Structure 1
Amino acid sequence: MTVWLMQGSASQDFLRRFTEDFERGHDDLRLDIRIQQWTGIGPKVQAALSASSDAGPDVIEVGNTQVAQYVEGGRLTNLTLESMRDWGMQDWLPGLAEPGLDNSAQFGIPWYAASRVVIYRKDLFEKAGITSPPGTRAEWLADTEKLDSGGNQGIYLAGQDWYTLSGFIWDEGGDLAKQSTNTWKGTLDTPAALRGMDFYRRLQALGNGPADADEEHPPQAGVFAGGKVAQIVAVPGVVQAIVQKNPALKDELGFFPVPGKTAGRPGTVFTGGSDFVVPRNTDDRDAAVAVVAALTGAKWDTDLARTMNYVPNKTTLAPAVAGEEAVAAMAAGAAHGRATPSTPQWAAVEADNPIKEYMTKVLDGADPRTAARQASRRITEQLAPGLG
């Protein structure tokens, strides 16, 4: 069995242990795990899906939002029956499962996830008299306003951080785009999506994040490390860069889920991660399915999550990472996570992103409804097959 895994998804020790265990339980199978680079992976996977059965991989790890582009042309194996019968699909994280679904057929099988959380300065919270992380959006705004004083930014939120905005829109019941029959339409101008943008505007104003740049320009880890920022919204892995630049912050950093509208339910967040797909041109479907079943099953999925500080693929496995503050915060948010619209044309939106331009316009004082209508029209054009 030839298995393609992406660079950085699993440690060599994990792969060694998994391979030994799998081959002990499957005397007739041997695993050939080949590590791939993310750069340029799209065309390489497309070529593999079109290759003869003896030339390509039998199992491929793909980004959860990439599944849609590989489904086209009927080149993936439909794994719906296994998902419904054996794999407990009802407990999968929605941000991993939904992108793997096409016309009620499951092609992508969730493996692991990561999502944004709030990284905060414990010392600045204590100084402001905040004894526990906020549990609702309203509390978050109030706490951030307290923190935005004494020369400190209550939060550093770049004006074009559209992944974070997406979560606020979803929390309000809105979407970036919706599909009607076979046509996708941008929906930033709906009342729900506008409410999400309004919350973003109010939160972003409690810091000095640039209105015309995203979280990588400049890298928000460097800004946070400067010592005058109380919070950022980011994946926990950013902490490594923060501490490298400012070791004094090592013991002052904490994590909590992005708050939701009501207590007890964290906010909806964009969920990134990986799914497994099985090419239709595999010459041993049953063996490929056995590999996917083992890697995504509770035993090895939990092992991977603990080893790599990921969120397991099921909400029922979240207790396995409860002891790690950062991962537990990710898991709480990922339980309600979402992914970008499941269409191959979404790549065109991200390549020339009208959401970013829309956000900047609103933060600079433009009428939100007018700017949202303009951005929605552009998204609709980009999502038209062959035109994006």
Structure 2
Amino acid sequence: MRRRLLALLCVSASLLTACGVVPGSGEPDRRTVTVWLMKDSASQEFLDRFTEDFEQGHPDLRLDIRIQEWTGIGGKVRAALKAGDADGTGDGADAGSGPDVIEVGNTQVPQYVDDRGLLDLTLESVAKWGGDEWLPGLAEPGQQRFHQYGIPWYAANRVVIYRKDLFERAGITAPPRTRAAWLAATERLNADGRQGIYLAGQDWYTLAGFVWDEGGDLATESGGRWKGALDTPAALRGMDFYRRLQALGAGPVAADEEHPPQAGVFAGGKVAQIVAVPGLAKAVVQQNPALEGQLGFFPVPGKSADAPGAVFTGGSDLVVPRTTDDKKGAVAVVAALTGAKWATELARTMNYVPNKAKLAKAVAGGEGVAAMAAGAAHGRATPSTPEWAAVEADNPIKDYMTKVLTGGDPATEARRATRRITQALTVSF
């Protein structure tokens, strides 16, 4: 698809309750806006600067930023969204007992919308924040029935990490820009006991990009009902390209990229390319310091040289609980964090992709992040339905990929996987 944040509460016990004023100071009362951000999403230095700037520009507000762990966050967010309506009446009597702004994974937003726990921010996003310019992989999962609940903050996605020295040795002078050129280059690299590429058989996020490039999808929606779509001609073409690329290496056909972790395989020195987020390069070099300075990055190639290939976009959106007792303050925080100034600063600080393609120049100086930003402009997310979590829980896409890669008939296996996806998506009907 990773994160840290500072909490500024009342700075002394001598302050009045509710982060009010020091007696006799004449300073205006400040309302506290509680913000939940995920561990390692932002550096301490970034948080310090943002908090200081925000509070100077909003003398009536004070930030209480609390860091959350990703493990178990789904249940914690759900509990927080209900905290303002403990009696279930919907009258708002319990509002204010939970956070006012929450960072959530972009693909998690549909689940929280389905719980009716989020504030509709359509008016703000369309009229004030340039919502039509957001990266689609962040914006689309934050939207339900043309209403925007999740506001894009930052993105990350896969690129091709490659060995510059092996490319040079094979006479490849520039990274490939088309799928056809990528296959040809990988075949040239697949020599002298090396793998031209290490691609696990069940790396379904990478497969999804090839399917989208062909005009297909993992699932489609019609009349409010979702169904699987792996059996379409377009999706089958995406799987066929995956099969051809995967065959140019020795990746395990019955495992995903974490079994074994592909960083360790790449560090072994016998692999020319992997598909991963740029940050994985650091883990590779840590395991094999001899590769320092030898790793390069390029966007996943597309069908033509006109644009990079589609990729799965991970990242975070910011949401506002429906039961917040300070909508104005919460909206001000979201506007500041996702606006051009601080979205750009966050991208520079943390090597993320900014939430709008036009801001990508802010990270143009970093080879890995620049490659990531180029791909993000054509990124997508998983189907925007809360039931998609049920698909991933017992993922039929992985089984489908393994069966095709071990000689199964693609059309037959695609129909089976499609039926299983449809069943998972319609469990609530």
TM-score normalised by the chain length of structure 1: 0.99
> Which residue of 2 is the match for residue 324 of structure 1?
366
Counterparts of 2:214 and 2:206, CA distance in 1: 13
Deviation at 1:89, TM superposition (A): 1.0
Counterparts of 1:236 and 1:326, CA distance in 2: 5
**Which of 394, 411, 422 pairs up with 1:380?**
422
> Which residue of 1 is the match for residue 171 of structure 2?
129
**Which of 333, 336, 339 pairs up with 2:378?**
336
Query: Is 2:51 the counterpart of 1:19?
Result: yes
Identity of matched residues, %: 76
**Which of 27, 33, 37 pairs up with 2:65?**
33
Deviation at 1:265, TM superposition (A): 0.1
> Which residue of 2 is the match for residue 210 of structure 1?
252
> Which residue of 1 is the match for residue 294 of structure 2?
252
**Which of 317, 337, 349 pairs up with 2:391?**
349
Question: Which residue identity lines up with residue 84 of structure 1 in the other structure?
Answer: V
> Which residue of 1 is the match for residue 75 of structure 2?
43
**Which of 140, 154, 157 pairs up with 2:182?**
140
Question: Which residue identity lines up with residue 34 of structure 2 in the other structure?
Answer: T
Query: Is 2:305 the counterpart of 1:263?
Result: yes
Mapping 1:72-111, distance limit 5 Å: 72-111=114-153
Deviation at 1:385, TM superposition (A): 3.6
Query: Is 2:313 the counterpart of 1:277?
Result: no
Deviation at 1:386, TM superposition (A): 3.1
> Which residue of 2 is the match for residue 168 of structure 1?
210
> Which residue of 1 is the match for residue 106 of structure 2?
64
Larger radius of gyration: 2
Counterparts of 1:267 and 1:46, CA distance in 2: 35
> Which residue of 2 is the match for residue 194 of structure 1?
236
Deviation at 1:191, TM superposition (A): 0.1
Question: Which residue identity lines up with residue 284 of structure 1 in the other structure?
Answer: D
**Which of 188, 191, 195 pairs up with 1:153?**
195
> Which residue of 2 is the match for residue 10 of structure 1?
42
Question: Which residue identity lines up with residue 66 of structure 1 in the other structure?
Answer: Q
Q: Secondary structure at the match of 2:166?
A: helix
| Matched residues, number | 387
Question: Which residue identity lines up with residue 67 of structure 1 in the other structure?
Answer: V
Counterparts of 1:29 and 1:196, CA distance in 2: 50
Deviation at 1:11, TM superposition (A): 0.7
Counterparts of 1:202 and 1:72, CA distance in 2: 39
Counterparts of 2:130 and 2:366, CA distance in 1: 25
When structure 1 is superposed on structure 2, of 68-77 and 361-370 the one drifting more is 68-77
Q: Deviations over 1:336-356 (max 9, x none)?
A: 100000111111111110000
Q: Deviations over 1:158-206 (max 9, x none)?
A: 0000000000000000000001112111100000000000000000000
Kindly report the root-mean-square deviation, in angstroms, between the aligned alpha carbons of the 2 structures: 0.7
Mapping 1:292-311, distance limit 5 Å: 292-311=334-353
Counterparts of 1:159 and 1:274, CA distance in 2: 27
Counterparts of 1:346 and 1:186, CA distance in 2: 11
> Which residue of 1 is the match for residue 3 of structure 2?
none
Deviation at 1:74, TM superposition (A): 2.4
Unpaired runs of at least 5, structure 2: 1-32, 85-94
Question: Which residue identity lines up with residue 302 of structure 1 in the other structure?
Answer: T
Question: Which residue identity lines up with residue 337 of structure 1 in the other structure?
Answer: G
**Which of 265, 289, 295 pairs up with 1:223?**
265
> Which residue of 1 is the match for residue 284 of structure 2?
242
Q: Deviations over 1:240-283 (max 9, x none)?
A: 11011100001100000000001020000000000000011000
Counterparts of 1:319 and 1:241, CA distance in 2: 26
Counterparts of 1:385 and 1:359, CA distance in 2: 23
Q: Secondary structure at the match of 1:118?
A: strand
Counterparts of 1:74 and 1:82, CA distance in 2: 19
Deviation at 1:2, TM superposition (A): 0.1
Counterparts of 1:67 and 1:282, CA distance in 2: 17
Counterparts of 1:285 and 1:54, CA distance in 2: 11
Counterparts of 1:325 and 1:240, CA distance in 2: 13
Q: Deviations over 1:51-71 (max 9, x none)?
A: 121210000000000000000
Deviation at 1:312, TM superposition (A): 0.2
